[in-house]
Every structure is written in C-alpha cells, then in structure tokens.
Structure 1
C-alpha cells in the first residue's frame, strides 16, 4: 500500500505532497522558537549591501533574504523558498526508497514538523543532503558534490557529512578520497571557518537549550541498529549501501557520545542532519520482511507508523518548546485574508 507512489509510474502524489509541504511549512506564521531571530536576520540582510549581506552568517540563506527583501517580500516568502528546496529534496529522497509513503511518515515528526518549521537554515541543508543522496551512485560525481557544497552554504554543520559520502565511494576510492577531501578542505577554508569560532563558542558556552536532544538521539540510534538487522541490506540499497551504512553508524555513535561530549547542542544538530536515514533503516527493514517473511511486513509497518505518530503527539503535548508550534497559523490567512 505504501508503495503506491513508486519512483517511476506515479507523479501526482509526489507533486501534491511537495506542494502541500512547501505551503504548510513555508507560509507558517510565528511558528518555532527562532521566529524572531529569523526576522532580525532578514532585516539585517536586507538593510546591508549585497556583499556585506552574503558575508553575514550562512551565505546562501543571506542571499535569499537580500533578494526577497529588495523585491519587497517578507520573511515568510523566504521561508517558502527554503521550504520548497527542503520539500524537493525530501520527496526525491523518499521516491528513491522502496516505500516512499513509509519514508515520508517516518520523516514527518522530527524532520518536517520540528526541523523544517523551526530551523529554516538547517532544514534546507538537510534537503540538499537528501538530494546529494538521491544523486549518489557510488563514485565521485559533480552532482552530489554540488548539493553538499550548497548544503554548507545554508548551514555550516553540513560539512560533517562529507566524510560519509567520500568513504562510501567504491569506485576509484583513492581518487574519490583525494578529490573529495580537497573539495571538503576548500569548503572548510572558504565557508565553514568564517565565524566558526563564534559558532562553537555559542554551542559550547552559550545558553542554548537542547533538552530534547537525548530522546531524539536515542530514536536515531534505534533506527541505526534497525539498519543492521536487515539481512538483505546490500542487495536492497545496492550502490547506496555504503553511504547509508556510514550514516547509520554515525547515528549509533551519537548515543554514547551524548554522555561524554561537552556540547549536547552540537550532537543534536548533527542528529538532525541524520534524521532522513531513520527512513532508510525502516524502509529497508520493511522490504527485507517483505522478501523473507511477508506476513510480518504489514504489522511491522503499522508499528513503525504508530510509533512515530506517538512521538509527534508526545512532543506536541509535553515538549518544552512545543507551545511555539501551537496553534498553527499561516501567513496567507493572517496577512492576506
């Protein structure tokens, strides 16, 4: 049932899903803890000359702010553009998996509701990373490299996934490592290093609350373990197996690191980059059950969907900052109707 909008023979459902998510996320109004912060960033970028604006914070996001502001747009127009990039990456990523519907359901609580509606810049970075996964074919290629570089221009933390891609390249491994490493180093020097000290100081010493980091990291670790329960993971994921394996190893590593690393916020931000691979793990395990024990596939899928639905409900009802998401308001009916 969840394979109904398969990769090749169905376009209507993906287009509708893309449009709905883009509109729902993009035109949100005063949703998320950082709403006021993004308004301030928007005004600062618009009031600055172009080169100065691009030099502030994350370059690609600042550029969108500057263009939209100079054309008379508002911060929710910026959000719509960012939501469009995120949604495009998400839909393409889900379509590349065996069960796009299940993948989207797993992504909804943390990736769509919490991240895309609360952390605009990082959500676009995740969207670009998902596009990099979509275009990854097991060797160095300008498409996935370009998407990863773009992700870093939206949020510097995205540089942390470069090694997972580079090490996953099976063809011409040493060439890939050398070329990919050189590209990553260039990105670090030209983009990430700018303002890195201030960012690290903010995460290590600043008063940033990550009270929900442990349950989010734990959920990711469980998904990472589920990936390795899949006995057919190599044949199911084919040329993307090594990449997905690397990402799931990272999800597992975050859990013990949580108890010893000095900044839980940094680990939480890394965990957000890895959320799409929870979908990979459970979709792969569902496909494995379909092949080996078909009677268990539907109950397993139902359990996963109920679990993630419960996760969203618990977060909305009891999370410290969920009040910034409720009630949902949209700029269309607040400003235009």
Structure 2
C-alpha cells in the first residue's frame, strides 16, 4: 500500500504547504510529480484488475503482421501494442506510454484549475490509483478527454475534436464526448435546436464508430445487466459535486464566469443516479468520462467562500473525504487485491 499512500501524500503536502513558490518552480514540482506517477504506472508488474487481459493483448501481436495486430483491439491501443512489440519494450512500454498520455492530460487540466494540487489530490485515490493503474485504455481516453476539455474552454474546437478522436482510438465509447463540442459556446445559451443537433451528430458518430460491435456492447452491458461492484458509489461521487455546482450555479458564474460545459457534466452526473440501477456496468463506464467534474468542482469549491475559515474548512473536508476514499478502497474494495501489493518490474 505504501506507493499508493506515497503518491497521495505528495499533493497533500503541496495543498497545505505554507510556502508560495514561483510559477516556474510550481510547474517543475507538478511536472516532477507527473514523471514519478508515470514511472509507477509504467513499471507496475501484475498490478490492476485487467493486467492479464492487457498482457494477453500484447502477446497476441508479438510476431503478428501489422494488419493482424490492428484487428486485436481498438486501433490506437492495437497500434501501440504492435509498436512496443516491434521495439521489444514489452507490456511495460505499453503501460509507460499509456501512463504518459494520462498524466499529460491530468497535469495540463489541473494547471488550469485555481487550486491545481487539490485537483491532483482528488484524482489520486480513484482516477490515478484505480483507473490509470488498472484500466489502461480507459485511462488514455480520459487523458485525451482532459486535454480536449482544456481545448474546449479555450474555444480551440479543432483541437477538441482531435483529442476526442484520439480518445476514441483507444476506447470507442469516448465518441460520446463529441456531443460537448457540437453545442458548446461560452457566449450563448443552449438552445433546444443546438441540443438536438448535438445529440444527432453524436449519435451519427457513435454509429460510425461502434457499428461493428454495438450488439456486443448491448448484450454485455445492458441485456445481461452486468453488475459493476461499487458502481453506485462511483456515480454518487460524481453526482455530489454536480449537485453542489447546480445549487451554487449563480454564485459560480459570478465568481468564475460562465461554465457551460460543466453544466452538462453536472446534469449528466445526476442523470446517472436512476440509470445505474438499470444497467450498472454500462452507466459505470459512462461515468468514467464524468470524473473530471470532481477535479473541477472540488478545486474551485473552497474559493466560493470569502471567509478564510470557511475556505480552510472546505479544504479540510475535501482532503478528508478523498483520503478516506483511498483507505476504504485499499482495505475493502472487492478488486483491491489485484492492486496489492504494488510490484515494480525493477524490484521483483
């Protein structure tokens, strides 16, 4: 458990550090954390719920032709496995690249937040420890999603769709994110026409991407009603910041300006609550793409209060909750044993 607690302790110390560093030094500190995080992700050995599944993917492409290799998984992940096999870097090379993409997204996104270290701290217990350490394809997709959100806020629409496309190359379900780019504009309200247009465009893109295996998705995630352990809790972890954002929306606008994409995230997070009981695995997979709302809301929330004592109390509460999340998951999570103990290829 020590490596997981160590990675949480670094942003924890930074959040409460009384020392104010210069911008360049702060960037160096966050970058150093990112490099260390990538090292832990990339060099892990037999860690994560899908370790053997990903290892099997890699073994399939060894000595396979490029065409055959590209048929083994989603295009981006298949190509990465083929490339690493050609270089003989092993599954560790695959995980290292996946970790680098994920952390690039997390660091870039966090640095746009008013409390970047708090955003990173919020990400560590689940997004980093569970997703990035255990589910490589989803982690890469979320890394690209975070980069896409940064582009969207800057109104860099082409970059947004490019990052969404890259995310979909690693996990096709990421095409859902295209919906944001269709009708988002920070200077205008959402109209029914734009919402309908966005839904139609997203549906078209989904059909184009998922037509080859949508029946499998429907069968596995919905018709068989696969159960995702802890899905309700993870949905609630998105819904709580979503609810707070909606309740404080007027104050949020006055304090931080229009936050239209996060309004969509908040509404979607709340919509997942009744749906998770119908198809827990399907909703849980979709909820992964809503995880950024936790980073966004909690890294802004303390600044809503003008009173320093209230700010500090809010900060303590957020930190306390996410420390508890990591402790509970490591000690009582149904799948936690596949993450424990942490092993590195360098220390076998």
TM-score (normalised: structure 2)? 0.86
Distance 1:296 1:243, change over 3 A: same
What residue number does 1:318 align with?
332
Q: Is the 8 A contact 2:140 2:170 kept in 1?
A: yes
What residue number does 1:80 align with?
96
Distance 1:119 1:101, change over 3 A: same
Select between 305-314 and 152-161 the one with higher mean Cα deviation.
152-161
Select between 12-21 and 78-87 the one with higher mean Cα deviation.
12-21
What residue number does 1:297 align with?
311
RMSD: 2.7
Aligned residues: 329
Q: Is the 8 A contact 1:169 1:176 kept in 2?
A: no
Q: Which runs of 5+ in 2 are unaligned?
A: 1-13
- Which of 69, 76, 89 lines up with 2:105 in the alignment? 89
Distance 1:128 1:237, change over 3 A: farther
- Which of 230, 235, 244 lines up with 1:212 in the alignment? 230
**Shift, 1:282, TM fit:** 1.4
Query: In the alignment, is residue 137 of structure 1 matched against residue 153 of structure 2?
Result: yes
Q: Is the 8 A contact 1:217 1:271 kept in 2?
A: yes
Structure 1 residues 170-226: Cα deviation after superposition (integer angstroms, max 9, x where no partner): 468899889977874664344332322223322235585511101111111111112
Q: Is the 8 A contact 1:32 1:324 kept in 2?
A: yes
What residue number does 1:167 align with?
183
What residue number does 2:244 align with?
226
**Shift, 1:251, TM fit:** 0.9
Select between 304-313 and 53-62 the one with higher mean Cα deviation.
53-62
Query: In the alignment, is residue 110 of structure 1 matched against residue 126 of structure 2?
Result: yes
- Which of 236, 253, 272 lines up with 2:288 in the alignment? 272
Distance 1:303 1:205, change over 3 A: same
Q: Is the 8 A contact 1:224 1:252 kept in 2?
A: yes
Structure 1 residues 215-267: Cα deviation after superposition (integer angstroms, max 9, x where no partner): 1111111111122243432244435x1011111111111112123x2x21011
**Shift, 1:9, TM fit:** 6.9
1:213, 1:204 → 2: CA distance?
14
Q: Is the 8 A contact 1:208 1:265 kept in 2?
A: yes
Q: Is the 8 A contact 2:225 2:281 kept in 1?
A: no
Select between 86-95 and 54-63 the one with higher mean Cα deviation.
54-63
**Shift, 1:51, TM fit:** 2.5
